[in-house]
């Protein structure tokens, strides 16, 4: 393994011309964009926080093409930025401004390669859009549980590369837990075929784990074998009013103990979140006549059809109400009502965006301490920045909240959100104090690459760098991200 | 990182004396065995296939002691063989015969550090015996689901290092899926504190995955945070007679579709297995008056108490019987009957051992192809080695069978099993043809270190070696195992 050079440095304009010609000969004209006016949707991230200037956008049609493109880039020390649906929230798929990096977009590699209901697996290329995968599973009377706001445009390769979370983690795990096998083009241009569909395989190091959640810094995921699950045949959806997140946790403990793995969603949102949704989505209605400080969306589901799961939900919520663990509850009586309740939670992200910018955090805390974290950090923020308004919502059942901070009423939201440093410090130091993570499901990308240095030990950073060096000695794979 | 030297080479007897003195000063006399007569239970594996000669057996009492011992070994390039309960089946915990390796036994580090029911986690030192962990979980009204034959003596550190499987994988996953955080002493002697209790953490590479299933070749696991689950409150246990493994898979598909995650066990055993159990365990009784070619032990469980899960089992098995998917079924009517049915499956391992040696395989195949694999390989073995008797049993629901081959009736079992090469070739080549793994849950250790080279690509082996080099550049951590 040779020492790493800074990618891009060695290559003059003439050599770049050669590289582009070489890439064109690999992917054909349909697979190559070189005109800056065609770059826009690839050069900027979804939130419009990061904007770069790629040398070219390359769209291979097969794994073999990816491998040849990566080889050509390795030869010229050209940096590669793998890109899926470009819906990431931390800028991991955005090239830098040097004009020397290529964006490798997987969108043309979008085939479902196999569905095997008896093995409970689906195999797909990396560019397959998540909602298509979900649909193919349903057609086979199976569930592919990964579900998140961007599911109509995010791609499974990106989901795996960021170890995506979403609303089904409580029951089915993160993207990592759903992967059985991977095919990866390594930074050398070699293709590792780890496309296995096995539940058990203890023949050495589990290499696929390296690439899951690595945000494209160790290789390009080109295909995956994913787990399927039995299709739920009944569902009960409820919204519950509580005084505090701590009360919500009391209900979580109860619901999981009684319902077991029927509990498929446990999502928190504050009354301020609800007010934003009601304001910006006029077709939504408040779940109760009264308002409560916090709400929880609870969902139970079962492979058994019928009323069993609704009766169970009534039992759990009824006894919680009697024992004053919760303040009120409404259970959907139809699929339409269930959809309406889900909207109150799902629209929070978009409602806060319409309201104006705020300072976002995606944190996780051990579930037993998350209520304490919220209370302590709310208090500390209120002391240090009087009047700030908390947009607190997320996957409480996973210990994961999007703990966003809005400017005081009347203050300039733009200016407030442009200077997140002091707020981040309070929130992230709090996270560290409570044994949590400053990026629960969004990754590091560019956004938290510096911030993480404050919270991870130098030893852990060294270990990560050592893994990076051993797989990508030239440093061409998505440089400037994660590490 | 420097180039690796062969461990032990550089160290003369004088230096070894110094090392032992140094280790004694770290762990005290209670933590050090140097007399060969004290080595016996540490120097030989459970199956008595491998026997080594350690320089010393070191039993640290804390992570700090482990770190200092590993540092001292790194300084003198002394190889370290981490050892848990020493119940492994592939010789991964046995030292070589050179007299230059130390066995690092974790048995004194056996404390349960924390139980957090609301976070659904338990934290324990590596030397904690599995059954104690299970017990501590039950006391907190939670389930720690990992369960295997050796649970009374195996240690959680070893379970994690070998990514142990067992009878609960179908529902709860392998050991890997149960780990949230790890503490590891690295080959450098540094301690990596990754002892987090988070369900979601996307802050860079998921380093714990490297150490899980690495069989002690990348570091010494000293503690872990593990997932707990709601305690099942009802259970239905049945044994089913089927004509073929293919029929059993028909039932699996049905049971999983209807029962969902209530299905917690789906274990196959052949009639020959049953006959061995009945012969060697006189307190067991056949489940049916008739005999069938194969049997499946099916278990459903539920967090809901009451009769629901038994009624569901009756429904699934009743309809399968009507449609002739299965040939007969018996459902336990009491806990005692359930235990009696479980014995028929659990005693297979021991019954075959009492019968005499055979040639063992621990293979996995995509579930949809495992019946085909068994039929094809049975036929090929019968052709090439007429009269051999198959001891086929295992975790069919995971696609994992222990596909063991006994000598023809009347032939010398000892001699037969001493020459496994030709049989292994047929079985493992078959596994490869069907897209399977030659070690589903037992690991590679010493036993399959050479064999795996036939089935894994040179690229994959290179990737593994590169990970090994980057974490253990001196090559002192359990050399001669896995790689």
pLDDT in tens, chain B (483 residues): 344 444 444 445 556 679 999 999 999 999 999 999 999 999 999 988 999 999 999 999 999 999 999 999 999 999 999 999 999 999 999 999 999 999 999 999 999 999 999 999 999 999 999 999 999 999 999 999 999 999 999 999 999 999 999 999 999 999 999 999 999 999 999 999 999 999 999 999 999 999 999 999 999 999 999 999 999 999 999 999 999 999 999 999 999 999 998 999 999 999 999 999 999 999 999 999 999 999 999 999 999 999 999 999 999 999 999 999 999 999 999 999 999 999 999 999 999 999 999 999 999 999 999 999 999 999 999 999 999 999 999 999 999 999 999 999 988 988 999 889 999 999 999 999 999 999 999 999 999 999 999 999 999 999 999 999 999 999 999 999 999
Distance between CA atoms of residues B415 and B392, nearest Å: 21
Under 8 Å between Cβ of B457 and B438:
no
Mean pLDDT of chain A: 95
pLDDT at A17: 73
**Strand-by-strand arrangement of the A191-194 sheet:** A112-116, A121-125, A220-227, A179-185, A191-194
For CA atoms B338, B344, B345, B347, the dihedral sign is positive
- Side-chain-side CA neighbours of residue B325 (13 Å): 15
Q: How confident is the model at residue A12 (pLDDT cuts 50, 70, 90)?
A: low
Q: B365 near B435, Cβ under 8 Å?
A: yes
Residues 6+ apart with CB under 8 A from A139: A115
* Contacting residues for A118 by C-beta, under 8 A, at least 6 apart: B249, B252, B253, B367, B368
Which run of H or of E encompasses B412? Answer: none
CA distances from B280 to A183, A297, B284, B344, B347 (A): 47, 55, 9, 11, 9
Over pLDDT 90: what percentage of chain A? 93
Beta bridge partner(s), residue B267: B297
Contact B139, B122 (CB under 8 A): no
Give the nearest partner residue to B198 out of A199, A256, A437, using CB atoms. Answer: A437
Q: Taking chain B, what is the end-to-end CA distance rounded to the nearest angstrom?
A: 20
Q: Residue A224, SS3?
A: strand
DSSP letters of B100-165?
Answer: -PEEEE-TT---EEEEETTTTEEEEETT-BHHHHHHHHHHTTEE-----TTTTT-BHHHHHHTT--
CB count, 10 Å around CB of A358? 21
- The DSSP result for B200-228, as a single string, is ---SS--THHHHTTSTTSS-EEEEEEEE-
**Site from B199, B226, B454, B455 to mutate, A interface, most A CB atoms within 10 angstroms:** B199
Question: Cα B69 to chain center, whole Å?
Answer: 27
Between β-strands A328-331 and B191-194, what pairing exists: parallel, antiparallel or unpaired? unpaired
Nearest chain A CA: its distance from B380 CA (Å): 23
Q: Measured between CB atoms, which of A1, A214, A459 is closest to B190?
A: A459
Two structure tokens written together for A394:
């997320």
Residue by residue, DSSP assigns A118-159 as TTTEEEEETT-BHHHHHHHHHHTTEE---B-TTTTT-BHHHH
What pLDDT sits at residue B12?
A: 52
Contact B366 A459 (CB under 8 A): no
What is the number of helices (H) and of strands (E) in chain B?
17, 18
Residues belonging to chain B: 483
More reliable by pLDDT, B193 or A2 = B193
Query: Chain A: nearest CA to B219, how far in angstroms?
Result: 12
Contact B176, B212 (CB under 8 A): yes
CA distance to A276, A359, B16, per residue, from A353 (Å): 10, 11, 66
Nearest CB to A202; choose among B192, B231, B441: B441
- Are A463 and B192 inside 8 Å of each other by CB? yes
The whole-angstrom separation of Cα A293 and Cα A295 is 7
| pLDDT at A172 exceeding the cut of 50 | yes
All residues at 6 or more sequence positions from A86 whose CB lies less than 8 Å from its CB, including other chains: A41, A42, A45, A46, A93, A158
A63, A191 Cβ separation under 8 angstroms: yes
B424 is written with which tokens? Answer: 């292994």
Give A113→chain B minimum CA distance, Å.
Answer: 16
Tell me how crowded residue A208 is: count the other CB atoms within 10 A of its CB: 24
Query: d(Cα A51, Cα A96) in Å, to the nearest integer?
Result: 7
Give the residue among B298, B308, B281 at the shortest CA–CA distance from B341: B298
How much helix, strand and coil, in percent to the nearest 5, is found in chain A?
40, 20, 40
Of A141, A260, A303, the CB nearest to B303: A260
Per-residue tokens: B288: 């049916």
Residue B403, min C-alpha distance to chain A (Å): 15
Q: Name the minimum distance, in Å, from the CA of A212 to any CA of chain B.
A: 8
Residue A13 has what pLDDT?
Answer: 57
Sequence-separated (6 or more) residues with CB below 8 Å from residue A258: A312, A315, A316, B303, B304
Amino acid A396: pLDDT: 97
Number of residues assigned to chain A: 483
Classify residue A383 by burial, with Cβ atoms within 10 Å: 0-12, 13-18, 19+: exposed
Tokens representing A263 are 């509990």
Size of interface A-B (CB pairs under 8 A): 269
Q: What is the mean pLDDT of residues A54-81?
A: 98
| B327 neighbors B248 (Cβ within 8 angstroms) | no
pLDDT at A480 over 80: yes
Which chain B residue has the Cα nearest residue A218? Answer: B205
Q: Do B440 and A169 count as a contact with CB atoms less than 8 A apart?
A: no
Q: Quote the radius of gyration of chain A (alpha carbons, Å).
A: 23
Q: How far is B473 from chain A (nearest CA, A)?
A: 11
Chain A nearest-CA residue for B231: A257
Burial (CB count <10 Å: 0-12, 13-18, 19+), residue A258: buried
Rounded distance between C-alpha atoms, residue A407 and residue A389, angstroms: 6
Element (H, E) at A368: none
Which is more confident, A464 or B8? A464
The SS3 call for residue A279 is helix
Check A259 against B193: CB less than 8 A apart.
Answer: no
Evaluated on CA atoms A384, A388, A389, A393, the torsion sign reads: negative
> Residue B151 CA to chain centroid, in angstroms?
10
Find out whether B141 and B125 touch, Cβ atoms under 8 Å. no
Cβ neighbours around B160 below 10 Å, total: 27
CA dist list (Å): B217 to B185, B213, B250: 12, 9, 40
Contact A400, A164 (CB under 8 A): no
Whether pLDDT at A354 is above 50: yes
Chain A residues touching residue B312 (CB < 8 angstroms) = 304
State the best of B92, B205, B206, B266 to mutate against chain A, taking most chain A CBs within 10 Å: B205
Strand, helix or coil at B361?
A: coil
Q: Classify residue A336 by burial, with Cβ atoms within 10 Å: 0-12, 13-18, 19+.
A: exposed
Residues B134/B151, Cβ–Cβ less than 8 Å:
yes
pLDDT at B172: 97
Q: Would you place residue A271 in the very low, low, confident or very high pLDDT band (cuts 50, 70, 90)?
A: very high
Determine the Cα–Cα distance for residues B275 and B281; give it in Å rounded to an integer: 10
pLDDT digits (tens, 9 = 90+) for A209-256: 999 999 999 999 999 999 999 999 999 999 999 999 999 999 999 999
Q: What is the pLDDT of residue B294?
A: 98
- A2 contacts in B (CB within 8 Å)? none
pLDDT over 70 at A7, yes or no: no
Cβ within 8 Å, pair A459-B209: no
Q: How confident is the model at residue A15 (pLDDT cuts 50, 70, 90)?
A: low
Q: What phi, psi does B118 have (nearest 5°)?
A: -75, -30
């Amino acid at each position: 393994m040779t020492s790493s050079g800074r990618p891009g440095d060695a290559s003059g304009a003439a050599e770049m011309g050669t590289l582009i010609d070489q890439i064109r000969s690999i992917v054909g004209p349909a697979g190559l964009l070189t005109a800056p006016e065609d770059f826009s949707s690839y050069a900027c991230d979804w939130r419009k926080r990061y904007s770069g200037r790629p040398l070219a956008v390359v769209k291979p049609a097969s794994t073999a093409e990816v491998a040849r493109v990566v080889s050509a880039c390795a030869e010229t020390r050209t940096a590669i930025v793998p890109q899926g649906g470009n819906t990431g929230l931390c800028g991991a798929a955005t090239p830098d401004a040097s004009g020397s990096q290529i964006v490798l977009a997987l969108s043309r590699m979008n085939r479902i390669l196999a569905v095997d209901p008896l093995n409970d697996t689906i195999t797909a290329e990396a560019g397959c859009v998540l909602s298509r995968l979900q649909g193919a599973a349903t057609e086979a009377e199976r569930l592919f549980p990964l579900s998140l706001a961007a599911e109509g445009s995010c791609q499974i390769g990106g989901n795996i590369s960021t170890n995506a979370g979403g609303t089904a983690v409580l029951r089915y795990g993160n993207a990592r837990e759903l992967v059985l096998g991977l095919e990866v083009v390594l930074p050398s241009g070699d293709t590792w075929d780890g496309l296995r569909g096995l539940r058990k395989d203890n023949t050495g190091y589990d290499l696929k784990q390296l690439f899951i959640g690595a945000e494209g810094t160790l290789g390009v995921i080109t295909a995956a074998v994913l787990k399927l699950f039995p299709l739920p045949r009944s569902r009960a959806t409820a919204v519950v009013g509580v005084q505090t997140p701590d009360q919500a946790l009391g209900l979580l403990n109860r619901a999981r103990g009684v319902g077991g793995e029927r509990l498929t969603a446990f999502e928190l949102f504050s009354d301020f979140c609800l007010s934003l949704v009601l304001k910006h989505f006029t077709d939504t209605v408040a779940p109760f006549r009264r308002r409560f400080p916090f709400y929880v969306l609870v969902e139970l589901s079962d492979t058994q059809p019928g009323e069993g799961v609704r009766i169970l939900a009534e039992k759990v919520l009824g006894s919680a109400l009697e024992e004053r663990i919760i303040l009120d509850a409404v259970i959907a009586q139809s699929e339409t009502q269930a959809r309406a309740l889900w909207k109150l939670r799902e629209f929070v992200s978009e409602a806060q965006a319409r309201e104006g910018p705020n300072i976002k955090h995606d944190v996780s805390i051990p579930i037993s301490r998350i209520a304490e974290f919220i209370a302590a950090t709310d208090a500390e923020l209120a002391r240090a920045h009087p009047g700030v308004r908390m947009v607190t919502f997320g996957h409480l059942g996973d210990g994961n909240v999007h703990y966003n901070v809005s400017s005081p009423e009347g203050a300039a939201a733009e200016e407030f959100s442009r200077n997140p440093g002091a707020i981040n410090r309070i929130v992230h130091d709090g996270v560290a104090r409570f044994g949590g993570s400053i990026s629960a499901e969004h990754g590091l990308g560019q956004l938290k690459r510096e911030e993480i240095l404050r919270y991870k030990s130098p030893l852990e950073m060294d270990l990560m760098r050592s893994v990076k060096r051993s797989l990508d000695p030239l440093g061409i794979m998505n440089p400037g991200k994660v590490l």
